Amino acid sequence: MKVFAHRGASGDYPENTILAFDKALALDVYGIELDVHKSKDGHLVVIHDEDIQRTFKGKGLVMDYTLSELKKFNCRKFEFIENLNCKIPTLREVFELIKNTDIILNIEAKTDLIHYDLEQDVIDLIKEYNFEEKVLISSFNHKCIKIFKELDNNLKYGALYDHEKNYAPEANVVEHAKKLGVYSINISRDLVTEEMVNLAHENGLKVFVYTVNTPIIMKKMIKYNVDGVFSDYPELMNEIIKEY
């Protein structure tokens, strides 16, 4: 089972920061998952929310700030406020961090609420670093995935599904993913079933599940034979896997 550090080692360190990614590299993980938006001046930046206020000491939309302005915001977690590795990073900075590793990067394009027109920029950066075999691009916005595939159909793509956003009812997830022509189904732990996993495998699709943080859910994912999980606690996930 492939273990992705969800937003880095985010259970212990501020999510989507260089510190969280660097700590994840010290663990036995297959990959790192992160989220990408675009700044006012066109830089690809790594942060989960469209608004900075939950994770940084400021407020407003990412898209309304330049990169230099975004870099001025301090991390909201008290013990990391002054840590320079807990600023909003660029995707390029993350690429630099992992370029000499075997880590796979799951880049979630956060275009489901705001479409940043970031597809070509992401592809250009991937090709600049020769990361074609090191990335999986995912999105809840399946139109975004289609745009990516039109630009480069040779990269790996994952379609994200969540019952709250009604992107596809459970019974249609595999069929929907097949029509999209993606590599993987990246699905909420609340939606995944053993039957769906088996059907996905029969149709040549990988199944990656988020966010798997507790032992009981971790054991269930092992039982379901999913291909991988996204966890805030990858070290714990590895312990559970070794028990099996």
What CA–CA distance (Å, rounded) separates 232 from 210? 9
Q: Is 115 a catalytic residue?
A: no
Active site residue 48: yes
Q: Is 171 helix (H, G, I), strand (E, B) or coil?
A: helix
Beta bridge partners of 75: 56
**What is the rounded CA–CA span in Å between residue 212 and residue 237?**
8
Copy the structure tokens of residue 179. Answer: 């029509």
Name the pairing type of β-strands 44-46 and 31-38. Answer: antiparallel
- The alpha helices in 36-164, defined as continuous H runs, are 67-70, 91-98, 119-128, 142-151
What's the rounded Cα separation, in Å, for the pair 5 and 3? 7
User: Which 3 state secondary structure label does DSSP give 155?
Assistant: coil
Give the active site residue among 6, 37, 43, 142: 6
Cα dihedral value 89, 92, 96, 98, nearest 10: 80
Indicate which residue of 37, 43, 48, 142 is catalytic. 48
| CA contacts within 13 A on the Cβ side of 230 | 26
Q: Sort strands 104-109 and 44-46 into parallel, antiparallel or unpaired.
A: unpaired
Task: Give the active site residues.
Answer: 6, 48
